[in-house]
Structures are given as C-alpha cells and as structure tokens.
Structure 1
Amino acid sequence: MYIQGPPGAQPEEDTRTPTVFTSLPRMGSATPIRSICRYCGNYIITVTSPVPGVLTWLLCTSLFVFGCVLGCCFLPFCVDSLMDVKHTCPVCRQELFRYHRL
C-alpha cells in the first residue's frame, strides 16, 4: 500500500550521504602497520602471523621432487620468512589483509 502526501507537496529528496569504505592497499608489509580497522573503526597496529602461501608450497614441492622425502621437504613451513603474513585487528580479531611473498 502506497500512501501519498498532501496534494501539491513535493517528494522528499534523499539527503543521506553514501558511506564509502576505503580498503588498505594491496601492497603491504610483513611488519605490523598502523591503520584504521574497517570492521570496528578503531585506530590500531595490526597483529601479524605467518601462514603458508604459494611460495611455501612451491618450495615444499620442489624439495620433494629433488629427493628430500624424509620430511626435509616440510622445512619451508618452519621458516617464517618463506610464509605469507596475515594482518589482523587486535580488537575485533578480523583479518584485514595478507602480505603475499610471491
């Protein structure tokens, strides 16, 4: 059911401004950065944690192919500098972005 206003009345204009969310740039850093969390809105320093990425899996596969079959092929999973870095908010624990090594 549509209810109209009084005759001759002008329709109300939408004066709300749209909310624009800006994301962090895709280029990042392996070290914690200062930012505004897009989920909770707090000014934070990100918490970083290493996670396996493409480079880690490629190195693991390469080591396996070249004969490191006794578990040595899993060595890239133990070296943080060979893994991607996940940046999270310390307040709401949401993942903000990932720094990809490859």
Structure 2
Amino acid sequence: MTAPPPPSAPLPPPPSYEETLGSNNSAQNPPKGGQPPPYPHPGPAIYVQNQVAFYDQPVHMVCPSCGHLIVTHIDRKSGTLSWISCGTLCLLGCWAGCCLLPFCIDAFLDVDHNCPNCHALLGSYRRL
C-alpha cells in the first residue's frame, strides 16, 4: 500500500461517467500503472423476492428480470377467500346470484404483480 499524498498535492479527478459505467472485467480494462482503480465498480444488484412487500396496490421497484425501474402491473384473480365467501353466502341462502359478489369485490381477490416491460411474475399477494 502506498502512503496518502501530502496535503498540498491536488487529488486526482474522479473517474468520468463513462469510466464508472465501463466493464467490471479487469482483464479487458487493466488498471494503469498496476494500481487498483480509484473507486471500486459496484456489482450487479441482487433482489430477493421475499424482501419486497407485495400488497394489493402496485409497487415501485427494480425488476429483477429485466433491470428496469418500474411500477408493477397488478392482475386481480379469484382465490381462496373468494371461494370461501361464495360458499358461505350459498349456505346462508344467498344462492340466487348474491353469492357471486365476492368475485366482483377487490377486497376478496388475490393480486399478482407483473413487470410491465418483460411481463415476468414478480410476486403475489394472497388473502388467505
């Protein structure tokens, strides 16, 4: 390791925008003079599905599939709560069509979150 430059010596300028976005492969871009680059290049971001909280509203996130900054597209589908509510209403005597109301109310439906760019399924929110 080398000693830091004296206080009177000017610091080298930071790398340009193009240099920071350049390749992380040191074999393709060897450092000048055998010294390490002044700033380490960040690695790729890793996203774990369980770290993102999916609810019944769209989520602002980076898609782990395509890497774009997105707001998720949500699809509402009938799930366990919808069917249990429908069966309960049938048992209570609402068999003439009122038992189908849980399939029309958003509070009873499950939600799937998809990427609007690559259409990958990013996560789901299940009521039950």
TM-score normalized by the length of structure 1: 0.72
**Whole-angstrom CA distance in 1 between matches of 2:86 and 2:52:** 26
Quote the Cα distance in structure 2 between the aligned partners of 1:75 and 1:62: 12
- Which of structures 1 and 2 has the bigger CA Rg? 2
Which segments of 5 or more consecutive residues in structure 2 lack a partner in the other structure? Answer: 1-44
Match of 1:11 in 2: none
Ranges in structure 1 where 5+ consecutive residues have no aligned partner: 1-18
Flag the structure with more relative contact order, 1 or 2, with Cα contacts below 8 A and sequence separation at least 6: 1
Q: Which residue of 2 aligns with 1:29?
A: 55
Q: Please tell me whether the aligned partners of residues 60 and 69 of structure 2 are also in contact (alpha carbons under 8 angstroms).
A: yes
Please point out which of 71, 89, 92 is paired with 2:118: 92
Return the offset for 1:22: 2.1
Please give the secondary structure, in 1, of the residue aligned with 2:66: coil
- Corresponding residue to 1:54 among 80, 83, 87: 80
Query: In the alignment, does 2:40 pair up with 1:41?
Result: no
Counterpart-to-counterpart distance in 2, 1:24 and 1:46: 16
| Secondary structure of the corresponding residue to residue 51 of structure 2 | coil
Question: How far apart, CA to CA, are the structure 2 residues paired with 1:33 and 1:43?
Answer: 11
Count of matched residue positions in the alignment of Structure 1 and Structure 2: 85
Percent identity reads 37
CA offset at residue 28 of structure 1?
Answer: 2.1
